[in-house]
Structure 1
Amino acid sequence: MIRAKQFLLGSAAALATVTGANAADLPMTKAEPVEYVKVCSEFGTGYFYIPGSDTCLQLGGYVRSDFYYVEPKKRSDNASQWQGRAQVRWDARTATEYGTLRSYIAIDADYGAAWASTSNSSFKVHYAYLQFGGVTAGFIESAFNFYDGKYGSPIYATYGGEQGRKNILSYTGQFGGGLSATLSVEDSIEHNTSIAGFGGLTDKDDAARTGYGGSRMPDFVANVAYDGGKGGWGKAQVMGAVHQVRGVLDDYSSKYGYAVGAALQMNIPFAAGGYFVIEGEYADGASGYTGANKFQKAPDAYAGPGPGFAFETAKSWSIEGEAGFNLTPSLLAIAFGSYRNFDAPSIIADKGNDYTAWVAGGQLVYTVVKGMTVAGEVSYQSIDVTGKSTVDTWAGAMRVRRSF
């Protein structure tokens, strides 16, 4: 018994010695330090450092649901329409010795039957651009814009200049005191409307002679702007653009159209959050810059009936405005309106190509809680096609939106 106990104790001691030696021989792995997300306050609220970098990132977006009721003109029209949208935004900024390097992405996902016969889904880029040292490159609002991208968001009514977002490469110089100037080179294809044919051509001639040829020259756009800053009286801008009209056939020489505009926004000091904004544009051979193509067919030019016949450009002008103020801290009222005129060349025998259009309406936006709003809109639109018809349309809309 004594010898058995001695054997067991000796075995245990030997095993402990061997285990200890093996444990000592094993490599020790040091735990990696945990890198916590840190707040970045350099560019405002909501930014945080991307772990392992000096780049600050802000995430945001919104979810909204829109309902429209548009006065139907025939039985096949969809008077009742719905659309849902989700948008996600990424804003990444890095401080460098040459200024801020910024990249911005916004993606929209839509589903609904708005302006279509059946429900459909779409996934599209809303913004995709970078900025560095005054240079902006990518998909963003045209430098011609002022009113469209920065003020009230209509639910259904089409009343802005409607320049929208384009692929651009621009440079903005800051001169101090709120004064700046921008020179922008922009995708001409996205500024094209169409090239139509003169009345009297045969269908074969129309098919051969109408339409844009391939793009050879970008649009050149410039603006000079003043921003009074936070608490200032407002903002102002003048802008201009040059647009190439290039037909599909070799026997047509190119022609250049242009557009000019001016805009003013003023804060209303006696109304909390109150503002007033107005913008006007004129175009010759560049109908897209006045938004004329959003209401009726509005070609940039008309192609003539013979070899070497020069284009005849179309002229258009528009004016749009908006005023908003808070009825209560939670209730915002907006009134808006626009007027648009399109003139085909005088050589066109059928003046049914000409039209005028105006829109008027209002919107109430109620903030339920921070980040969530409910809005209602009523609008009236009238399109008068010279010598042909006048179409008047009532529309109502509602939007529920949650931003984050």
Structure 2
Amino acid sequence: MPGTETCLRVGGRVRAEYVVGERFGESDAYGTRARGRLNIDARTATAYGTLRTFIRYELTNNSGMYNNGSAGFNVGGTVAGFNTIAASATTSLVDLAFIQFGPITAGRAQSFFDFYASDFNFNSIRTADTRLNLLAYTATFGSGFSATISLEDRVSGAGTGGGRDLGVGSLAGATLVRQGQDYPDLVGSLRVDQGWGSAQLSGAVGNRKGAAAVGLGAVEGDEFVWAIQGGVKINLPMLAAGDTLFLQAAYADGALGYLGYTGSGVGAFGLGRIGNLALFDTALNTVTGSMKNSTGYSLVAAFRHFWTPTLRSEISASYSELKLGYVTPGTVGLQRSMDPKEFIAAANLIWSPVSGLDIGVEVLYSNLQLRQPVVAVDNFGVRSNAARLIKSEDTIAGRLRIQRDF
């Protein structure tokens, strides 16, 4: 910037997407998305190191499957068991807004828990990928080693894949009142970045509170929650320049948001015929006040290969299992938790004819299995009167993306 010691870079992205898949209920069998992103990055050299300020602002218009979640890009819906007409909707989002000064990061930034955070941006698998409000300190030790401690606001991630807090249910599945938390989630990570790639071990601890009105009084519960994750990124230049492999595993106890789940539902391709199954981090016993955490784990693998300098493929997959601490409403037969198991796979082919332009096609597949059968959603978007029971579902979708980064 003339007259100052600050360097300013203005960039952004324009993305157009088109998705097709199976139609459920009143939803469309296709969807469209248009997204504009503006990045502003200002850096100033100081006696204490680089002072950086970064802002990323997005405007997105979605229609069809992108709104109702049935294509795997926005999970779940608003009413369990119902598909709704997905009209066009425009949303705005302050995706990133942070200051970095020496070891300090303050503002809205990528969670320091995350490792593989949808780095291959065409793919949509189950992984922790959240931007939220935080205050972090990073110590560097040389040779690429660093350690970070971060205070992260677990509910401020809404709009970027959901907040970390999935709320509180009752042992019978009813939603209760989420109480205020005593302290932010505390995240710590150890990381190494070298020529061969990167590796990270991260963990998070927090607490979740819930309350329910009982008679003339109230029952309250308070439970400790935690999550841990390890990942490795391996550069594979012996195959082709730019080839990369990610491997990652995570476990959560009362903190399902750290596995990449949101409170809006389960199933990568959203509603489908199984319907929207709400998820809670923990469940409150409205008689004793005790709480039982939901637990789960996830495994992630992703591989990028350049066939030529302008043609690449990205293949990724995730597998996760949850053990819920409550019985889901609307179950039939034995009353027990759903304990979903989910597998997602995605593969694409992307052509970059000129720098900054991607034109690609992608196929996504999801398999969801439940421990307990549910009544299927029929093609009218409501529970079937024939009471057809299902406990597993396969869904496939495809999309075309044209994207320009500048």
State the partner residue of 1:192: 165
State the partner residue of 1:226: 192
Q: In 2, distance between residues paired with 1:371 and 1:269? A: 22
In the alignment, does 2:70 pair up with 1:120? Answer: no
Q: In 2, distance between residues paired with 1:400 and 1:185? A: 37
Q: In 1, distance between residues paired with 2:243 and 2:135? A: 34
In the alignment, does 2:285 pair up with 1:304? Answer: yes
For residue 332 of structure 1, the aligned residue among 312, 315, 318 is 312
- 1:9-20 to 2 correspondences below 5 Å: none
State the partner residue of 2:58: 108
Q: In 2, distance between residues paired with 1:315 and 1:141? A: 24
Q: What root-mean-square deviation, in Å, do the aligned CA atoms of Structure 1 and Structure 2 show? A: 1.8
State the partner residue of 1:4: none
* 1:143 and 1:222 in contact (8 A); partners too: yes
Residue identity in the other structure for 2:34: G
The structure richer in helix per residue is 1
* 2:338 and 2:372 in contact (8 A); partners too: no
By how many angstroms is 1:112 displaced? 2.4
In the alignment, does 2:393 pair up with 1:391? Answer: yes
* 1:188 and 1:244 in contact (8 A); partners too: no
Instruction: Kindly provide the CA deviation profile for residues 260-308 of structure 1, in whole angstroms up to 9, marking residues without a partner as x.
Output: 01000001132221110011110001111112336242211011031x4
* 2:166 and 2:279 in contact (8 A); partners too: yes
State the partner residue of 2:350: 365
In the alignment, does 2:4 pair up with 1:53? Answer: yes
In the alignment, does 2:82 pair up with 1:82? Answer: no
SS of 2:234's partner is: strand
In the alignment, does 2:270 pair up with 1:318? Answer: no
Q: In 2, distance between residues paired with 1:327 and 1:141? A: 30
For residue 144 of structure 1, the aligned residue among 113, 117, 129 is 113
SS of 1:353's partner is: coil
State the partner residue of 2:73: none
By how many angstroms is 1:140 displaced? 1.1
* 1:140 and 1:165 in contact (8 A); partners too: yes
Q: In 2, distance between residues paired with 1:269 and 1:371? A: 22
State the partner residue of 2:21: 70
Please tell me whether Structure 1 or Structure 2 has the larger radius of gyration of its CA atoms: 1
By how many angstroms is 1:99 displaced? 0.6
SS of 1:188's partner is: coil
More RCO (CA 8 Å, sep 6+): 2
Q: In 1, distance between residues paired with 2:170 and 2:291? A: 10
Q: In 2, distance between residues paired with 1:247 and 1:309? A: 9
- 1:196-275 to 2 correspondences below 5 Å: 196-199=169-172, 206=174, 210-228=176-194, 232-249=195-212, 251-272=219-240, 273-275=242-244
* 2:170 and 2:326 in contact (8 A); partners too: no
Instruction: Kindly provide the CA deviation profile for residues 342-391 of structure 1, in whole angstroms up to 9, marking residues without a partner as x.
Output: 10238997334210000012011100211111011001101112121212
Instruction: Kindly provide the CA deviation profile for residues 149-198 of structure 1, in whole angstroms up to 9, marking residues without a partner as x.
Output: 5x20135x3x1413311111001100000000000000032320021111
SS of 1:143's partner is: coil
* 1:292 and 1:341 in contact (8 A); partners too: no
SS of 2:50's partner is: strand
State the partner residue of 2:336: 351
State the partner residue of 1:40: none
Structure-2 change in CA distance of 1:351 and 1:134 (3 Å): same
Q: In 2, distance between residues paired with 1:329 and 1:107? A: 30
* 2:283 and 2:326 in contact (8 A); partners too: no
Q: In 1, distance between residues paired with 2:367 and 2:327? A: 26
Q: In 2, distance between residues paired with 1:61 and 1:125? A: 13
Q: In 2, distance between residues paired with 1:70 and 1:358? A: 17
* 2:21 and 2:396 in contact (8 A); partners too: yes
Residue identity in the other structure for 1:169: L
Q: In 1, distance between residues paired with 2:282 and 2:252? A: 11
